[in-house]
């Protein structure tokens, strides 16, 4: 079941990644569109000067503070009537292929303050055009036009979609990882559960969570004896006999060394303890205080 969930999540993530590319292709302005906007904005500048009675001053090159904003500057001071400015801007932009809401701000060159502004929206949006009919005094002005639907406006959409898509794909891989790790060691009749450990007696391994711990032959043999009588005392003689019976020479100190090694490898679970019983032997305590 988890495998199919993982595949489904991965498929959804891939779909979102592919979908995130759509706005880049469809909505990012082409060089032709950028040129068209710049020509229209320069035309706005020339018409504004003509309405102000200036036939000789130059409209300076259009600046681009960012890809969605265009700044129109002038060689000489001029005055303007808001009614005329709104009509000039709307007429020039309507002659292009741009179908977007936009905001126009007229700034004082020296103070950088907005002296007049308005917004032109699409059919479903609001158009805000305040203060018509009041002629503005002669001064140094800049006209800033910002479009609301451009490549800049689409960036948050496709970036968020792309991020979600990748996150889902990574999540699907993470879901599969525990399945893969568990399959490295499969339980069978030789597997013994010791607290939070799994002891694979036939493979000489311990598993704690996703961690695998190697056991030596002697450690595995002793732990098998302890696991067969958990929470029951086992004499030193029995441990030595069953653990070293096929080696001929029995060294008592060796038992203590290997018990110490087993204690370290079982230390991750505090409920599992190999306790010394003075004068008798040891006991593997599991789940007891």
Backbone angles phi, psi at 168, to 5 degrees: -65, -40
Three-state DSSP class for 31?
helix
The pLDDT of residue 71? 93
Q: Quick one: fold of 191-286?
A: Arc Repressor Mutant, subunit A (1.10.10)
Per-residue pLDDT of the chain (289 residues; tens, 9 = 90+): 545 555 565 566 566 555 555 544 444 455 556 778 888 899 999 999 999 899 999 999 999 888 889 999 999 999 998 888 999 999 988 888 777 789 999 999 988 899 888 888 876 455 666 656 678 889 999 999 998 754 443 445 555 665 666 666 676 666 555 544 444 556 666 789 999 999 998 888 999 999 999 999 889 999 999 999 999 999 988 888 887 766 655 555 788 899 999 999 999 999 999 999 988 899 999 987 6
**What's the chain's Rg over C-alpha atoms?**
40
The pLDDT of residue 27? 47
As a whole number of angstroms, the distance between CA 205 and CA 217 comes to 10
The H-assigned helical ranges of the chain are 2-20, 22-27, 31-51, 82-94, 151-182, 217-228, 236-244, 252-265
Record the pTM. 0.42
Which residues in the chain are classed under CATH 1.10.10.10? Answer: 191-286
- What tokens were used for 227? 């696991």
The pLDDT of residue 19? 57
As a whole number of angstroms, the distance between CA 204 and CA 64 comes to 70
């Amino acid at each position: 079941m988890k495998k199919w969930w993982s595949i489904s999540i991965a498929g959804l993530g891939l779909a979102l990644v592919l979908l995130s590319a759509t706005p880049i292709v469809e909505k990012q302005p082409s060089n032709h569109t950028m040129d068209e906007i710049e020509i229209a904005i320069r035309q706005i500048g020339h018409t504004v000067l003509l309405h102000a009675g200036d036939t000789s001053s130059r409209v300076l090159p259009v600046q681009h503070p960012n890809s969605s904003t265009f700044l129109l500057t002038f060689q000489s001071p001029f005055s303007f009537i808001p009614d005329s400015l709104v009509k000039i801007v709307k007429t020039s932009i309507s002659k292009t292929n741009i179908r977007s809401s936009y905001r126009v701000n007229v700034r004082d060159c020296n103070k950088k303050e907005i002296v007049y502004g308005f917004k032109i929206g699409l059919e479903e949006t609001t158009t805000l055009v305040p203060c018509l009919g009041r002629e503005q005094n002669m001064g140094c002005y800049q006209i800033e036009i910002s479009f609301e639907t451009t490549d800049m406006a689409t960036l948050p959409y496709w970036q968020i979609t792309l991020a979600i898509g990748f996150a889902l794909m990574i999540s699907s891989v993470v879901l599969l990882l525990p399945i893969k790790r568990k399959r490295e060691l499969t339980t069978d009749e030789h597997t013994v559960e010791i607290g939070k450990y799994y002891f694979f007696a036939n493979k000489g391994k311990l598993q704690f969570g996703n961690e695998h711990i190697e056991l030596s032959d002697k450690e595995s043999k002793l732990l098998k004896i302890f696991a067969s009588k958990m929470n029951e005392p086992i004499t030193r003689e029995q441990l030595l006999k069953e653990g070293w019976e096929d080696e001929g020479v029995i060294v008592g100190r060796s038992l203590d060394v290997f018990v110490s090694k087993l204690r370290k490898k079982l230390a991750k679970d505090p409920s599992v303890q190999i306790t010394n019983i003075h004068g008798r032997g040891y006991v593997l305590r599991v789940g007891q205080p």
